[in-house]
Every structure is written in structure tokens, then in C-alpha cells.
Chain A
Amino acid sequence: MDRLERIPAVRRQEWLRGLLVQGFRVECQALRATESGAAPGFVTRSNRFNPSIKRTPVSTVVSEPTVVEMTHSRVATSEKPFAALGKVIG
């Protein structure tokens, strides 16, 4: 905020935009580093999913399975809480 106040008012919008882009790029690099650092064939999922980021399609030329690790859901219920949605199928 201090830096923002030191910048002339006419340039503040541009500075903020640059900051946003820089943050976005850092996040993209962190995402790529996470993916490339994982074991071959494994991709660790980040919670910061952004649909606008272009993703490389999962390669299927190799025959080994490709695995994506999602957040482990430990939801345990003996009931079917949304059984009513079954009627959508008809």
C-alpha cells in the first residue's frame, strides 16, 4: 500500500495491473514446477485451478496409466443425501 501511495495517481492503475500479471505468472510457474517435480506419470493437483490457463492434454501415446491426484474426499455417509437427484435421469 505504501508503494501504491508513492506512485503518481495517473500510473496507479497500470502499476496494479502489472502487479496482478506478475502474481499470475508466479502462480503459473509454481504450478508448472509442482507438476514437473512430481513422479513420472503423476500430476499433483493445485487447489488454485484456473480454467483460463491453457493445459496440455494428457498424453496417451504411452500405454502406462496417467494419474492425477485430486483432493482426497473423506466424506463418509451411509445415506445417499441427494437421492432425489436420481429422478433427473427419468
Chain B
Amino acid sequence: MTNTPAIVPIPVGLDDGYAFTKLALPDGRLIVIPSRARVGRSDMTWIHGAEQRVFEYETEGSVYCVGAIDGAPTHFDGYSWSGLNRAVVQHALQQAGFAGQTMHAVSGLPVSTFYRNNGEQRHDAINRKRESLKMAVQPLPDGLPVGIAFHGVIPEALAAWYDYVIQEKNDVVTLDKDRVSEPVAIIDIGGRTTDYVVVKEQGILHGSSGSLQCGMLNVKQRLADGIQTRFDFETLSEQLVSHAVEQNTVRLQGSDHDVKDLVEAAKREVVEQIFAETRRQLGLGVELDRVLFVGGGAVALAEHIADWFPHQAIAEYPAFANARGMLKYLRYVCEASDAV
């Protein structure tokens, strides 16, 4: 009788957002790639394998390319369980160096996709997402796929709460009892949505929790509209607009143009919507001990959200707060997985 070594699954916190896909890994790495992919082959030949920047994956009989391409829009209902999403996630795991490995993952859904208004879970959506990422994705032409053997799904902003209350320090994991007991609001400014979760006495206040369909992708869309109007172009690549948001300039026909005013106007418009919803959900937050901002938008819009509440804070590396919380949930809370 031979002893076959057991396969030890690797845990991963997987925040597969509409704009960016973030991984939190137990070796301490946090990895982000743009959620940028499209259906079809890349039709490119790479002379040197090391310089390859577009990668192809097949899932459910369809081929997707991921990487340095003009990505298809991800902000559609159902992206969370689409082949496009699976290809992006597989690519992120491949880039993290897990080819051929088996993983246990926890990911998330926006609060309003996870819960009905009355607090009941939307089991159909949760199950679709859970099963989708367990489906096979084959790296082309003959790469070793990363397999996801277990996949849990939790509300996205709540993941940041787990990150907030579970502390890892000096190889010891502890629960911050003060943080667990205090009423706290998490505001997660993401790509397509801004999520609100209020946790009090280890329960979610659904009356003050939900999702606003507005995020950093709206900034990009407003900016794209502004650039098209100003320079009279019909179309702009998604990469060009991303560059303009970050650098305040756009390169058109060989010349750089300052578009800072358009970037600021786009941000202001989105910030106003988020501010109005924040006041609607949380008021002045007088009964909260803490308001915590997380998500990539908390960094990009930091100057605009700096003084909304006197007791607010921005999480450490806020874009990764959900991914970190998903990993902590998987390792220390989720009994359905034995990954540690």
C-alpha cells in the first residue's frame, strides 16, 4: 500500500471586479491585473515567448484573449458568471504562478446582487457565481490550467469588514474585539458599483446597506465622452482613456493634450452621485463609530472624499481590502474549506 501525498489546496482571496481583478495570497502577495479581455483569438504571433503580452484561454468552447488588448466592456449584468470573467480570473492566477495547482477561493458579489432588500440571500445569483469559477479554463495552446476546487461567495463590502476585524501580526491571528463590537460602515467604491454595508453587533443593517450603480468606470465613460466631444473622434480605445484618467493627458495623432479639466469634471460628477447616496444610506453617521472607505475608488477619489465624516478612515491599500478580507474569511471563518 502506498501513501499518496494529499493535495494541499492553496487559499486565495479573489476580488474579481469589473475594472480590476485583485488577488490576496497567503504568502503575503497582493496582485492586481486589469479586468481586460475579449472574445476571440488575438491573431498575434509572438517571436519571443518571454515578451508575450496577450494570452488566450478556452472555456465552454469559446476562446478569449486577455492582456495588452482593447478589452470588451465588463459592466454588464452577468459578468460575474461569464466566460469573460473566468478567462480574466484564470489569467490572474496564471500570472501569480499557480499553473497546474489546485486552489480554494473566496470571491464576492455586490451587496445588492447578494441580498434582496429584505436581507434574504439571492441564492440563484450566488450559486451561478460559485459554480462558474469552478468550471474548467484551458490556457492555449497547451498550458496547465489552475483548478478551483472550492469557491465561496460573500458580499463584497462585507469582505472588507472581515479584513478590518481579523488581525494578522507576528504569525498570530487575533480578533479585534473592539472593532467587532463597534457599529461600522464600509463604503466600497469599485468599478461599476459603490457598495455600502453597515455592521452592528455582528449583524448587517440591511436598511443602510446596498449598492449604487456608479463607480470608477463611470469616470472613464464621462471622460471618454468629453474627449470625443472636444476632439471630434467617434471612438477611443479603453487603454487610452485609462491612461488619460491616471495621467490627465491624452495622446492623439502624435500629440499630447492636457485633459485635466475633463478628468476633474468626470470625477466631480461621479463623486456627487456617490455623496448623495452616502448621505441617503448613512446620514451623518452619528450612530456609527467608524466609516471605512475601501476599493480602488477610495484612492483615485481620495481628495474628493477626504472630509465626508469626522470619523472616517481609508483602509490600508484600500483597493485590496476586499481581497484580503476574502482570504481571511477563507482561512479563519469558512468551515466548508480546509484550506489554511
* CB-based nearest A residue for B301: A57
Q: Are A80 and B334 in contact (CB under 8 A)?
A: yes
**B interface, how many residues as a size bin?**
35 or more
Measured between alpha carbons, how far is A77 from B335 in the docked complex, in Å?
Answer: 12
Q: Which residues of B contact A61 (CB under 8 A)?
A: 239, 242-243, 246
How far apart sit A78 and B332, CA to CA, in the bound complex (Å)?
9
Chain A, interface SS category: loop
**B139 an interface residue at 8 Å Cβ cutoff?**
no
- The reply to whether B29 and A70 form a contact with Cβ atoms under 8 Å apart is yes
Instruction: Report the minimum CB–CB distance from B256 to chain A (whole Å).
Output: 15
B residues 191-235 in Cβ contact with A at 8 Å: 199, 202-204
- Establish whether residues A58 and B28, one from each chain, have CB atoms under 8 Å apart when the complex forms: no
Looking at the assembled complex, report how far the CB atom of B252 sits from the nearest CB atom of chain A, in whole angstroms.
Answer: 16
Q: How far is the CB of A70 from chain B (nearest CB, A)?
A: 4
**Residue in B31, B171, B203 whose beta carbon sits within 8 Å of that of A75 in the complex:** B171
Q: What 0/1 pattern do residues 13 to 56 of A give for CB contact below 8 A with B?
A: 00000000000000000000000000000000100010100110
* Complexed CA–CA distance, A61 and B268 (Å): 22
Rounded to whole Å, the gap between the CB of A56 and the closest CB of chain B is 8
CB within 8 Å for A78 and B166 given contacts A61-B242, A63-B67, A65-B92: no
Give the distance to chain B from A20, nearest Cβ to Cβ, in Å: 21
A57 touches B171 (CB 8 A): no
**What does the 1/0 interface line of B307-318 toward A look like (CB < 8 Å)?**
000000111110
Contact residue among A78, A87, A88 (Cβ-Cβ distance under 8 Å from B338): A78
- Could you list which residues of chain B lie within 8 angstroms of chain A, going by C-beta atoms? 19-20, 26-34, 36, 53-54, 67-69, 92, 95-96, 115, 119, 121, 154-155, 158, 161-162, 165-166, 168, 171-173, 175, 180, 199, 202-204, 239, 242-243, 246, 296, 299-300, 302, 313-317, 319-320, 329, 331-335, 338, 340
Given contacts A68-B29, A80-B331, A81-B173, 14 further A-B contacts (CB under 8 A): A49-B316, A58-B299, A58-B319, A60-B32, A61-B242, A63-B36, A65-B32, A66-B32, A68-B31, A68-B317, A73-B168, A78-B338, A88-B202, A90-B121
